[in-house]
Amino acid sequence: MELFFEHYALFIPLIIAQFVLLIVAIIDLVRIEKTNGPKWVWALVIIFVNIIGPILYFIFGRRHD
């Protein structure tokens, strides 16, 4: 049982980072006026493409006018 917790302890920071990225990306998506593409598509990407989705949104989804 001890070995079980040692292995999952390595994933806790990754899970926290994923959750924080997801929340920050969703907040930014709601606040920003225009995006590169429809907002609903970016919301789906952020939510369903795990840790890569929010990163893709920040790189490609935000419009820098």
Question: Given this model, what pLDDT does residue 23 score?
Answer: 96
Cross-strand bridge partners of residue 62: 35
| Of residues 46 and 1, more confidently modeled | 46
Which candidate, 56, 64, 62, 3, places its Cα nearest to that of 29? 62
Q: Is residue 5 part of a domain?
A: no
Domain that holds residue 19: 14-61
User: Can you tell me the mean pLDDT for 45-61?
Assistant: 91
pLDDT confidence bin for 12, thresholds 50/70/90: confident
Q: Is residue 3 part of a domain?
A: no
pLDDT tens digits for range 15-48: 899 999 999 999 999 999 889 999 999 999 999 9
Does residue 5 register a pLDDT over 90? Answer: no
Number of domains in the chain: 1
Q: Is residue 28 part of a domain?
A: yes
From residue 45, alpha-carbon distances to 5, 17, 63 in Å are 31, 17, 16
Does residue 9 register a pLDDT over 80? Answer: no
